[in-house]
Structures are given as C-alpha cells and as structure tokens.
Structure 1
Amino acid sequence: MADRATEDFLTHRNLLFTVAYELLGSAADAEDVLQETWLRWAGVDLDQVRDHRAYLVRITTRQALTRLRTLGRRKESYVGSWLPEPLLTAPDVADDVALAESVSMAMLLVLETLAPTERAVFVLREVFDVGYDEIAGTVEKSPATVRQIAHRARAHVAARRPRRTVSPAETRDALDAFRRAVETGDLRSLLAVLAADVVLVGDGGGIKQAIPRPVAGADKVARLVTGGWSRVAAVASMEPTEVNGCPALVVRFDGELDTVMAVRLDDDGRITGLYAVRNPEKLSHMSRETTLSRHATMPG
C-alpha cells in the first residue's frame, strides 16, 4: 500500500506543487505544503478514495490555505515590498498558455489582491478546471456559494489583468529593447519601451538594498534604472532567461546571481510593470528548472 501511495503522490507531485505555488507565490512554502500533503496522504486508506487526483488536490489546497493565512501575517512585517518567489522554468511551460499566464509574476500579484478563499476558488476553477462541487468540498462552502465566489473573483481578476495575453515573442522583444537601452544609457530608447504609468517594484527583503516602495512614472523609472546601472556596469551583466513561464532577465554581479527582473506588458507592447527580486532567500529556485504542470505526469 505504501508503494501505491508513493506512486500516486509522485504522479501528481508537479501538479500539486503548481497548485500550492499559485496559492502562495512562494516555492519554499509550496514545498512545505507538499511535505504536509504527503504525510496526510500516507495515512489514507486508498481503497476508500474514488478519485486520487481530486483527493490530493483537496489536501494540498487545504494545507496551502492554512499557510496562506500565516503568510499574510508574515507579509505585514516584511521589510519593503513583497514580490512572489521567481522560478526558473523550462521553455515548454510557455507552450501551455493558460499555465504560463497563471504563474506569471504579474498574475501572481493580481492573485495577491484576492482573499484566501477567493484565490483558492479562482485558481482551482480557472486554472485547473476543478468542478464546483469538488471545490465546495475543499473550501467547505456550498456549491452555490462557490459559484458566487468564483464569479466575484473572475470579475476582480479581469479588472486587474492585461486585456489580452502577450506572446513570449513580444515580451522577449520588449526585454531586449529594455536591456539595450539600460546598458547603453539611452534614455530616449528606454522611455520608448516603458508605458507612461510604468511601476517599478523592488524586493530585497531587508537583506539586499532595494527601493523601499514602488516607483511610478516612465521618467522616474528610466532615470532610476539607468543611474543604478551606470554605477555597477563594470561588474554587472544582464542576461535573458525564462522565469515563471515567461521571458525575463537575470542580473549578475561578478558572475553571481543578484537580481531577477520580470515584467508586465500592456496591450501595445510597452512595459507597465518591472518586478526586481533581490532577496537572496527568494532566489534559490533559480539554480535549477522547476517543473510546473496542470496535469498528472508519470514518475520517470
């Protein structure tokens, strides 16, 4: 029975991690949730479980909701702005457009504006296509209530997400233009790729220096970024990468990873959000690719 439980868990592990990560925005906390899920799953009488995937998703979601409420209290005392933990992802994540959008830094920040139960309902329904009855059992609400929550959450997210899905190629082009402009100190070219209302958010977690609060406006952001780069250009490099299923940039100082820069693009291809994660405690998942999935995968 233990072997059967292990095989089932490993088959769904990437799916469960993705559920937990989308609910928490933290890979470290998602890994902890998976440990807790395994401990509970190992004690289940599998002969009494009709749908193993649904049962595992239910355990994971409940554990993540408990942790999400704790995480909310931790964020209240967090030094500076809080950003989700970036993940180095394989290029094939971008092939699943719905998955790539749902784990993008921009979408995770939108999900942060939902209440915990709203976030769980939205993620389970919109990303993982879980039925209303199953979600109702997971969050311990009636199906009718869950439908109302889902409707509310969809409207909330729709009002804050980009109006259309931006292709990886468009994001890559914008990042290439951004990188060239910053490296050459070309303010005019940089302003051309930034939206007028662009917002720069930095997360140092009180460990690394970062802007203490978001900076808004193309001119302010452009001057801040080019000025900062000019002071470190002799030892710094900027390289393209794939983060959370989307093109992004990594900044290295003397070859060592220092910053992950993710972006949000508007409909016209201009950058409306720049998200710079410098907190070293959030960069541990940038050394190896993380597999994200909306489906079960047989263990190799």
Structure 2
Amino acid sequence: MTDRDQETFAEYRNLLFAVAYRILGTAADAEDVVQDAWFKWSAADRSAVTDPKAYLARIVSNLAMDRLRSVQHKRETYVGPWLPEPILTTGDTADAVAGADSVSLAMLVVLETLSPLERSVFVLKEVFDFSYAEIAVAVERSEAAVRQAALRARKHVHARRPRFEEDSATKQQATERFLSAATGGDINALMELLAPDVTLWTDGGGKVRQALRPIVGAGTVAAWFAGLARPRTYEGVEISEMTVSVLPVNGGPGIVFTGAGRVIAVITLDLDEHGRVVAVHNIANPDKLGAIAGGAAHDVGPHR
C-alpha cells in the first residue's frame, strides 16, 4: 500500500464514520466498521478503483447494514428502551443545522425504526446528498429500488419528526435552564420548560436502575427529575461529588454527569417549534458511555 492510498483513506475517514454511526447508532460498532473497511481497502486492487469515495462508501454501507441486521435481535430483547450511544461532536457539526439534527439522538431513535436498507439510503441521500446512482452502487441495489426505499424512508421519518429550523442558541439556553431546574428539584421551573406531551426515555440496559418504559406528560416527567435531586447518592456516587457539564453531544448541547472517575449519565433534549422540551433522552447504561468518557470529539457533519 502506498502513502497515497493511506492518505486517501484518511481523507474520507470522517465521512465513513459519520455514515456508519448514523446507520448503526453506536460509536463502537461504527469504529469497527471503519476498521473493517480499512482492511478491505488495504486488500483491494486499488488500481481498478476510479472513485475512491464511492468505493469506500459502498464498503462501509454494506458492512454497516450487515452489522445492523446482526444486532437487531439484541435490540428487540433489550431491557427497557434502547437508545443510541451518544458521542461528543465538534463545533463544525453543530454549525450545520441539517447535520446537527441528522445526528441528534432524537433522529437516531427515528432511524432505528427503518429497515437497514431504508436507513442506509436515507442517510446517504438526505444527509450526505449522494445521487441515487451513487447510492445504488453503494448498497448494491437497482436505482429504482433505491428511489422506492428513499421515498418510504423519507415519509416515515418526516411523519415522526416534522422538520423545522432549530436555533442552536435557543437549545443551549433551554438545556441550561433545564439543568438548573432539574438539579435544584424545581418542579415549577421544569413545568415551564416542558411540552404537555413530553416523553422521557431512559436507557439503563438492565445495568443500572432506570425506568423500563417511557414516562409521558409534563407533570410526571418534572416529578421524576425533581426526585433525582433528593437522594444523597446515585449509582453509588455522592450527589455532592458529581460534576455536571453541558457539552456538545450529537450535534447539540448535552448534559453530562460525571463522578468517581467515570461518566454516570448523558441527557439530551429535543425541542418543538415553540422551544419547549418535547423529548428527553437519558442514557445511563455504562456500556454506552465509552465514547463520551474517551473525550474525543467527532466531526460527523454532512461534508462530502
């Protein structure tokens, strides 16, 4: 392998991870897929490759779809709600509104309801603006089949996640206000921030104690968070010894709880067009906090 071949792979590595992560919803699996793509790239007859980006996108898309199919049963039998694995993201991701929303936990939850093919086609088309012809090559389907999958996926996603331009400053302010109210146990302040039909999703994966079903309604969600401020300890860590930070998580502000040398939980908010919190995603399964604990920020914007 020449230096140029290595440079080519490095040039597209962020793109490959960004595609794989959106298809799979887990950073660890996405990293594995990118590593497997490197092995395939290393072993390929690169002299016959006329478009390295398209070639690598095909490898990653197919590897990611195969892995997604293999893990679907585990997700279906998961203890409690299955949420994506959060990652730290760069400012470049947050600056691109479309890119930030496409990697948000709320969007990844919606993408989880698509088939592996629909999810791959949606990501390549809607996020990275690949042509239908390019996608057909990448996922090894006819262009007609790709167009049909794209239409199904687009309708499905837009029905569950109506599009509107989310202001990053508004979300930052809402997250900070939510954090202040939740850590202070202020139910009234929380009620002002929450939409009436807000839903709280908690993911403990059976490893830590969390709600096993979604919690719905402003009063119930506010009471749940206010209750967290009362105990002296959480998961064996003194509340007074925890550090709470607002960091760039999945393209927007996220609340990261740390203590006793580990990440304890990550919370992200989803807002409606009125700036009210319509969904809260709380990931506390320690198996899903490695990417946050590692501290590396990913540039997963829709750069091609």
Q: What SS does structure 1 have at the residue aligned with 2:43?
A: coil
2:274 is equivalent to residue 268 of structure 1: yes
Matching residue of 2:300? 292
Summarize the alignment of residues 211-290 of structure 1 with structure 2, pairs less than 5 Å apart: 211-232=211-232, 233-254=239-260, 256-286=262-292, 287-288=294-295, 289-290=297-298
Matched-pair contact (CA < 8 Å) for 1:8–1:52: yes
Distance 1:237 1:272 in 2: 26
Q: What SS does structure 2 have at the residue aligned with 1:86?
A: coil
Distance 2:81 2:17 in 1: 25
Distance 2:90 2:134 in 1: 31
Matching residue of 2:15? 15
Matched-pair contact (CA < 8 Å) for 2:54–2:138: no
Q: Give the alignment's TM-score, normalised by structure 2.
A: 0.93
Instruction: List per-residue Cα deviations over 1:109-159 (Å, max 9, x = no partner).
Output: 111111111111110011111111121122232212211211121111111
Q: Give the alignment's TM-score, normalised by structure 1.
A: 0.94
In structure 2, do the counterparts of structure 1 residues 255 and 270 end up closer, same or farther at CA, with 3 Å as the change threshold?
farther
Distance 1:146 1:268 in 2: 35
Matching residue of 2:235? none
Distance 2:258 2:107 in 1: 26
Deviation at 1:295, TM superposition (A): 3.1
Matched-pair contact (CA < 8 Å) for 1:12–1:295: no
Task: Give unmatched runs, 5+ long, in structure 1.
Answer: none
Letter in 2 for 1:290: H
Letter in 2 for 1:259: A
Summarize the alignment of residues 65-214 of structure 1 with structure 2, pairs less than 5 Å apart: 65-214=65-214
Matching residue of 2:61? 61
Matched-pair contact (CA < 8 Å) for 2:185–2:225: no
Higher deviation after alignment, 248-257 or 173-182: 248-257
Letter in 1 for 2:302: R
Q: What SS does structure 2 have at the residue aligned with 1:263?
A: strand
Q: How many residues align?
A: 296
Matched-pair contact (CA < 8 Å) for 1:162–1:266: no
Matching residue of 1:31? 31
Task: List 4+ stretches of structure 1 deviating above 4 A.
Answer: none
Distance 1:90 1:136 in 2: 30
Q: What SS does structure 1 have at the residue aligned with 2:146?
A: helix
Aligned-residue Cα RMSD (Å) equals: 1.5
Distance 1:171 1:70 in 2: 35
Deviation at 1:6, TM superposition (A): 1.6
Deviation at 1:255, TM superposition (A): 6.2
Deviation at 1:257, TM superposition (A): 2.0
Matched-pair contact (CA < 8 Å) for 2:55–2:138: no
Matched-pair contact (CA < 8 Å) for 2:184–2:229: no
Higher deviation after alignment, 159-168 or 263-272: 159-168
Deviation at 1:73, TM superposition (A): 1.5
Distance 2:186 2:26 in 1: 35
Q: What SS does structure 2 have at the residue aligned with 1:185?
A: coil
Deviation at 1:166, TM superposition (A): 1.3
Q: What SS does structure 2 have at the residue aligned with 1:239?
A: strand
